[in-house]
Amino acid sequence: MGHDKEHHAKIATGKGDPQCFIGTAGGPSKFKVGDRVRIKNLPDIFYTRTMVYTRGAIGEIAVVTHESPAPEDEAWGHVDHSEWFYIVRFKQKDLWPEYPDDFPNDTLQTEFSERWLESV
């Protein structure tokens, strides 16, 4: 399926995005809520939504969100393959070792496509 804005708008019209991609990831999600995952340190070319400060960090799946093409693919016009997306929760101290000890329960949540996650 070729990508252009008109095509994407056509498939999303009346359904929404990411709702138009339901069932397109090729099966059930690999991870479930509560699973511990590490963010892979993959190369990024041109575009990614995966923040550098999360790479290598360990977090917990907070929400299995949706199926959609990964931003790295969509940026190049490839929308014919979807992945599962997850919200991962990190302890602030695990992201920034200098984070104050006075706040051990502070967390940060952000979203990743499945390709960036590995089981811990």
In this predicted model, what pLDDT tens digit does every residue of 48-95 receive, in sequence order?
889 999 999 999 999 999 999 888 887 777 788 899 999 999 999 999
Q: Where are the domains of the chain?
A: 5-119
Residue from 51, 62, 67, 108 nearest 87 by CA? 62
Pick the CATH number of 5-119 from 2.30.30.50, 2.60.34.30, 3.40.1390.10, 3.40.50.970: 2.30.30.50
Nearest-angstrom CA–CA distance, 25 and 45: 23
Residue from 111, 71, 75 nearest 90 by CA? 111
Whole-model pTM? 0.85
Under the banding of pLDDT at 50, 70 and 90, the label for residue 2 is: very low
Quick one: tokens of 38?
């590490």
- Cα distances from 41 to residues 24, 65, 106, 118, in angstroms, run 26, 22, 24, 10
As a whole number, the mean pLDDT across the chain is: 88
Q: What percent of the chain has pLDDT over 70?
A: 87
pLDDT for 1 equals 45
Whether 43 shows a pLDDT value over 80: the answer reads: yes
Least confident of 9-18, 25-34, 107-116: 9-18
